[in-house]
Amino acid sequence: MSEVQVPSRLVFRTPAVAVLAALLLAMGATPFAVGAPGFSLIYLVPLGLIAWVLRTRTTADGEGLAVRRVFTSRSLPWSSLKGLRLTRRSGVHAVLTDDTEVALPSVRTRHLSALALVSGGRLDDPLPDSPSPPA
């Protein structure tokens, strides 16, 4: 059995195909948008959704986590993490050493093993007995 290759970086994001849903929303809003002056502002909703899909993500590498939202971004070195907190909806929040929490966009509980692998042992794998991926 060969050794498992550890990726140097993982990116957790909403699939880009979600942009199609925003484009369909824009097409559906067209009759409403041309109905009266000023209604064309309805196109800001699909544009906002597209910006959210393309910009929001969490990147994990050997240095730490990089959390990027539509208007802000934040770097969280592994040394500043106290642990992770799971939410009721399978979301994950990073708990910092000063007990503040930072939501990790697009990271779900099913990603915890991969996150532990990329962290280089700084995070515990919640499923240590899980089978290794096929070679």
Give the pLDDT band of residue 124 (cuts 50, 70, 90): confident
Vertex 24: Cα angle to 18 and 25 (nearest 5): 95
Query: Helix, strand or coil for residue 105?
Result: strand
Does 15 or 8 have the greater pLDDT score? 15
CA proximity to 106, closest of 9, 4, 15, 1: 15
Rounded-to-10 torsion of CA 5, 55, 30, 42? 150
Every domain of the chain and the residues it spans? 9-118
The answer on pLDDT for 4 being more than 90 is no
CATH number (2.60.120, 2.60.40, 1.10.3470, 2.30.29) of 9-118 reads: 2.30.29
Tell me the pLDDT tens digit for each residue of 13-38.
999 999 999 999 999 999 999 988 89
Residues 6+ apart with CB under 8 A from 35: none
